[in-house]
Structures are given as structure tokens and as C-alpha cells.
Structure 1
């Protein structure tokens, strides 16, 4: 199975050995581990920032189920995430399920487990985002190509990455982005992303 190489993944895990093992597995699978932490405050900052594609989240942090609270924040911020934990009791599973994670993996895990979990989590989140975005902008009557570019842009892809994804030139991407900026009445990338986030929340 071909993986979504280059995905930016952040690990929230309080056991150093497991965190380091995950980093090595991610690297071997072609993913980009952008950091690890056992700090709740640092994890909250990363979730709020919205700059990563996926968060691998341990449920039991520092002896408490604080991972569940972080999962709630991920869901609120529409941040793709999956749980990794040694807990599989009914109460924990039900609490985790309510936060709507992209996956729930039990320790110990294999590289294959991690790869499948990541791919399923990102696919599920991407499809949900795509549907929300389509509903949010349906009144603008965008062309098919504009919608494709918009979805890529909303996924935080850069101009060259959008061009590669859609097999079009960077100039074509810039042309469509210019039109989209005008239709959405925005002047910067940050403003555009913020407006899209607001619109999808209200959809």
C-alpha cells in the first residue's frame, strides 16, 4: 500500500521509549514527524495552531486520561488525530469514541498498525472536510477546477503542491487562486484559511 508520504505528524506521548519508537516508524514509512511532547500545554498549542496533518495522541498522559480532553479539542478544531493506548476497557473506549477520533490503536503496535491507522485517519478526516467545504461554498457556484484548487488550498497545500496534485501548471493554480481570493473577498493566505474555517464550522 502506498502511503501519503510527507504528512506532518505530531506525537503526544509521555513514554520516551514509545515516542522514539514511533518517530523511527514514521520515518521508515515516509511520514514527517514534526515533534513530540508529553506536555498538555504544548499539545494544546499544536492543536490550536492547526499546522500539522495528524496528531498521534496517547490517552493516558502523566497518569491521567488527559488525552481524552485533548481529543475533544482536536475534534472542536477539526484537527485529524488518532489515539494510541494500552487501555481497551469499555469506559475508556466509549469516552474516546465520543471525541470522534480517526482511529484507536492498542499498544503494543507494529509499523503496519501505525501505517493503516494513519492512512484511515487522514482519509476519513479529508472526506469529512471536503463535504463540509462543498456545503459551505455551494452558494458561490465555483467551477469544478476552482473547487479542486480550493480543496487543496484548504488542506494547506502550497501552490507548487497544488499544481503537482492536480497535474496543472503553477501559473494555472495562481490564476484560480486569484479568482478565489476575489470571490471570497480576502487578500492574504492566512485570512483565506481563517475564512474557510469559519464557513465550514457554520455549514
Structure 2
């Protein structure tokens, strides 16, 4: 835990300084802080923290929930740290994927405990998919995968940032995936349930891509998405 790099996004300078002091006292490395979404995103991409603490109320038009949506796209783990607990905010927060939600005012022990538990759950829950493509060996997080598409005896693995053509069959790669998170929608497609944006009549939408659904699988898929 002592090597964990944390980035702070907080618009109150006193709280930001307090956070940095507490984190450093408890052995964490603070690799930067910002009070707005745009500044935070630029530095997070540059400084590559392990974990981001996100206040919801920030300077500028975009708030911490908007930042969280960007962090979800980047697959960057984060914890909310905020005093906002109103129903509207919580509804927006539920559309994102934080490791936790720390309510202000916080204590030093409470902050440390939340970070340790959240990070421990994150690293133990993370799963990977290993494969060769273009004469290179890759090991990517399954959480980054949007869907897989069969292509003869090959298979495309599509992530949030890249498409890989893997010299393995869809059936072979699917055996390495978490069966609770990945499901076959069609004989040529397997999707990540956590990446679904919408379920339509004959297709499922992921990242603005329409993926076909076999009629025999639609009912099961709908139940899985709802659950």
C-alpha cells in the first residue's frame, strides 16, 4: 500500500492540503491535485496515478460525476469524496463505477480504511485476458473489453481504445473470460454486460456500436442486463 499513487481532485484548497497531509502521513504518494475536470484529466493522463479521489463539487461547468464518467472510459479507479448526498446526485453517481463513496466530513482513520478496503477489493477482483496478436504478447484487463467478434478461425477483441485480431477462435477466448460478465448475444459475438448502453429490438448498443442479438438469446440477455 505504501507505493500507491493517489491523485486528488478537490476545489477547496484547505481540504486538498489536509488530504495530501493525511495521505502522505499514512504512506501514500500524492502525485498531484486539481480543482477542475479539465485540469484533472490532463494531469491524470500524464501522472498515471493508481487511484483518484474525486470531489463532486468542482470549479467549472463540469463536476466530479462528469469526471467519473471520463475515468470509467479510461478504466482508472476512483473514490468519491464529497458532502453531497442528495437523491439527484446519488442517482447520477449510480450511473458510474466508483470503488466507493466517502462522505465528508471524514476522519483520518475512516479515509485510510476506505482506501485500503477499496484498493484491496479492486486488485483482487481484477481479471485479465492474455493472447498473442501481431507477433506480440498482450495481457489486458477484462474490464477494458467491450466485445469480441468471430472472424473465421480468428477473433477480434475490441477494447475502449484498440482492436486486436487474435489467431484464436471465439470459443477459445470465451473460455478465459468471466462468465458472469461476458455473454454470447449471437454466434459471432460475445459482449461485456457492464459496457451495455442500450438494448433495442434486435441489437445491443455498446459504445455506439450495434451488436446483433439472436432471437433465442434476447430474453436471457434482457434478464442479465436488468439484474
Q: TM-score range by the shorter chain?
A: 0.5 to 0.7
What's the offset of the Cα at 1:65? Answer: 6.1
Q: Which moved more, 1:39-48 or 1:68-77?
A: 39-48
2:209 aligned residue: none
Between Structure 1 and Structure 2, the one with more helix by share is 1
Query: Is it true that 1:51 corresponds to 2:48 in the alignment?
Result: yes
What's the offset of the Cα at 1:94? Answer: 2.1
Query: Is it true that 1:20 corresponds to 2:17 in the alignment?
Result: yes
Answer whether contact 2:2 2:27 (CA < 8 A) is retained. Answer: yes
Q: How has the CA–CA distance of structure 1 residues 184 and 71 changed in structure 2, closer, same or farther, with 3 Å as cutoff?
A: farther
- Residues 42-95 of structure 1: CA deviation (Å, up to 9, x unaligned): 211234347111000000112766100110111111101000111111221221
What's the offset of the Cα at 1:25? Answer: 0.5
Residue 72 of structure 2: which of 46, 71, 75 is its match?
Answer: 75
Query: Is it true that 1:196 corresponds to 2:140 in the alignment?
Result: yes
Higher relative contact order (CA 8 A, sep 6+): 1
Structure 1: distance between partners of 2:44 and 2:32:
12
What's the offset of the Cα at 1:36? Answer: 1.0
Structure 2: distance between partners of 1:71 and 1:126:
19
| Structure number, greater radius of gyration | 2
Query: Is it true that 1:60 corresponds to 2:57 in the alignment?
Result: yes
Answer whether contact 2:75 2:144 (CA < 8 A) is retained. Answer: no
1:96 aligned residue: 93
Residue 29 of structure 1: which of 26, 31, 42 is its match?
Answer: 26
Between Structure 1 and Structure 2, the one with more strand by share is 2
Q: Which moved more, 1:26-35 or 1:39-48?
A: 39-48
Gaps of 5+ in 1: 141-181, 187-191
2:106 aligned residue: 109
Aligned CA RMSD, in angstroms, stands at: 2.8
Answer whether contact 1:50 1:79 (CA < 8 A) is retained. Answer: no
- Residues 79-137 of structure 1: CA deviation (Å, up to 9, x unaligned): 010001111112212211221101101111001111122112222322343x2x1xx22
Q: Which moved more, 1:61-70 or 1:50-59?
A: 61-70
Q: Provide TM-score, normalisation by structure 2.
A: 0.57
Q: How has the CA–CA distance of structure 1 residues 61 and 185 changed in structure 2, closer, same or farther, with 3 Å as cutoff?
A: same
Q: How many residues align?
A: 147
What's the offset of the Cα at 1:37? Answer: 0.9
Q: Provide TM-score, normalisation by structure 1.
A: 0.63
